[in-house]
């Protein structure tokens, strides 16, 4: 049985990311592995890439709040993560993506 909100194998896909993002994600994995080692049995193993400091899942509202804070800090016009997703999908479709 899959956890609530998880993707089915048929819904999974490949996402192209730039080399700088790959480096950031690789460093994040190193940092996360260090946290796992430091916390030992207290690490909550969710098999997620982006988690709380203890491995537990991020709460969607906390992610949205942090995104809004960063958008404001950068002086950008307000947009939600959902709006950003739709914008990216529109650009991908316009470029011939699926």
Contact present, 16 and 5 (Cβ < 8 Å): no
| 41 and 65 co-located in one domain | no
**Domain, as residue range, for 89:** 59-98
pTM of the model: 0.67
Whether 7 is in a domain gets the answer: no
Specify the pLDDT at position 15: 80
Residues 69 and 44 in one domain: no
Q: Is residue 46 part of a domain?
A: yes
Share of the chain above pLDDT 70, in %: 87
Long-range contacts of 22-31 (CB under 8 A, 24+ apart): 25/49
The mean pLDDT value for 6-26 works out to 83
Mean pLDDT of the chain, nearest integer: 88
Query: pLDDT digits over 68-88, tens only?
Result: 999 999 999 999 999 998 998
Count of structural domains, the chain: 2
36-70, pLDDT tens digit by residue? 999 999 999 998 999 999 999 999 999 999 999 99
3-state secondary structure the chain: CCCCCCCCHHHCCCCCCCHHHHHHHHHHHHHHHHHHHHHHHHCCCCCCCCECCCCCECCHHHHHHHHHHHHHHCCCCCCCHHHHHHHHHHHHHHCCCC
Rounded Cα distance, 66 and 73, in Å: 10
Q: Are 64 and 95 members of one domain? A: yes
Asked if residue 98 and residue 65 are part of one domain, the reply reads yes
Q: Token pair of 79, please?
A: 């947009």
State the pLDDT at residue 7. 61
């Amino acid at each position: 049985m899959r956890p609530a909100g998880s993707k089915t194998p048929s819904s999974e896909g490949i996402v192209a990311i730039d080399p700088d993002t790959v480096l950031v994600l690789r460093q994040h994995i190193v940092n996360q592995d260090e946290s796992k080692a430091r916390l030992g049995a207290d690490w909550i193993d969710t098999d997620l890439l982006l988690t709380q400091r203890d491995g537990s899942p991020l709460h969607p509202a906390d992610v949205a709040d942090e995104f809004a804070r960063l958008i404001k800090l950068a002086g950008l016009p307000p947009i939600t993560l959902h709006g950003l997703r739709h914008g990216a999908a529109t650009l991908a479709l316009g470029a011939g993506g699926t």
